[in-house]
Amino acid sequence: MSAIPDVQTRRWKRVEYERMIECGIFQPDERLELIGGVLVVREPQSSPHMAAIRLAQEALRVAFGPGWDVRPQGPVALDDDSEPEPDVSVVPGSPRDYVEAHPARPALVVEISLASLAFDRAEKSSLYARAGIADYWIVNLVDRVVEVRRTPIRAETAAYGWTYASLDVAGPDDSLAALAAPGALIPVRDLLP
């Protein structure tokens, strides 16, 4: 049996990824996102996962109110080599503000996690911290809690060189408020299917 030779890989830039989408290279049902220059297959949509996305979307729409766009599974142009599609993001303005380009700086990013929990905690957390996203929540369906990460800081050992200084875990009987909507308390149970 022969040894497999070293294989070179190619990292993609966000503009290249967007051009491939425009040219129809990917099929409409392909669930891909660009993370750190690598095309990553997104988590399959189980019923609890989709229910949690819809619950988060509705709770955040009420909490943030007018002047904010609560986007389910929409691309976010984080930097030159990352265009993730968080399960829910909240950005200022309305959908018409993003006709020409995807938003770059969400006020809040929410990932719903079952099978992707480790990836969302390590890779996505570091990626969002590097981009300066101040408020990152993981709706952890495995443990039925919401993990709230805040205050991005440099961390050499993190996947993308950044992490969050603050991690709070809220259970079903707790309530949360987003940094950009501090007056609106969201019961954690409203985010859990």
Indicate if the pLDDT at residue 2 is higher than 60.
no
pLDDT more than 70, % of the chain: 96
Kindly give, in sequence order, each residue whose CB lies less than 8 Å from that of residue 115, ignoring residues fewer than 6 positions away. Answer: 43, 44
Question: Residue 12: its pLDDT value, please?
Answer: 86
Query: Residue 38 — pLDDT band, cuts 50, 70, 90?
Result: confident
Query: Residue 16 has what pLDDT?
Result: 86
CA distance 97 to 101: 8
Name the nearest CA neighbour of 128 among 109, 101, 148, 113.
109
Q: For residue 80, what are its two tokens?
A: 């030159």
In terms of Cβ atoms closer than 10 Å to its own Cβ (0-12, 13-18, 19+), residue 52 is buried
Q: State the pTM of this model.
A: 0.88
How confident is residue 29, by pLDDT bands cut at 50, 70 and 90?
A: confident
Candidates 31, 52, 41; CA nearest to 142 is 52
Q: Which residue has the higher pLDDT, 30 or 135?
A: 135
Using CA atoms, how far residue 98 sits from 6, 36, 142, 185, in Å, is 42, 22, 33, 28
Alpha-carbon distance 26 to 29, whole Å?
A: 8
pLDDT of amino acid 4: 59
Burial class for 94, CB neighbours closer than 10 Å (0-12, 13-18, 19+): exposed
Cβ(137)–Cβ(146) below 8 Å: yes
The full set of domains in the chain, from first to last, is 44-191 (3.90.1570.10)
Is pLDDT of 27 > 80? no
Least confident of 32-36, 170-174, 185-189: 32-36
> Predicted confidence band at 91 (pLDDT cuts at 50, 70, 90)?
very high
Least confident of 7-11, 33-37, 164-168, 185-189: 7-11
Mean pLDDT of all residues in the chain?
92
Q: What is the pLDDT of residues 118-156, one digit of tens each?
A: 999 999 999 999 999 999 999 999 999 999 999 999 999
52-90: pLDDT as tens digits: 999 999 999 999 999 999 999 999 999 999 999 999 999
